[in-house]
Amino acid sequence: TAITKDNNKIWKEYMDSMAITFKDEVLTSKKIKDGTYTILVDYEIGPDGQVTIKEVYPSPDNSTLAKEIKQRLMLTVPNLNPVMGSNGKPRKAVKKYNFTLTKA
């Protein structure tokens, strides 16, 4: 469980730093209307700790916002600690992360 907490902390710090990038580079697009967006990031930690961004779901829905966020996350995503299964071997772990962005 200590590794899981480490992964959660690493992921939160990464996403907090990326939120600044999203505000500066993504929310400036004219294709994204003013308002508050709740973003759900669906990602997977592989047995080797490699992270894959599966999907990004903004609410309200905005395909430009989803595409731009996913693109930026895939460029700089950190490796995390492998998640151990009950047999003591690394396994895939599907995770979700929510955050909010506001365009004024």
pLDDT for residue 5: 74
Residue with tokens 């930026």: 72
pLDDT tens sequence across 70-102: 999 999 999 999 999 999 999 999 999 999 999
Q: Which stretch of DSSP H or E encloses residue 20?
A: helix 2-21
Nearest to residue 102, comparing CAs of 22, 2, 14?
A: 22
pLDDT tens sequence across 26-66: 999 999 999 999 999 999 999 999 999 999 999 999 999 99
Q: What are phi and psi of 33, to 5 degrees?
A: -75, 160
pLDDT tens sequence across 15-28: 999 999 999 999 99
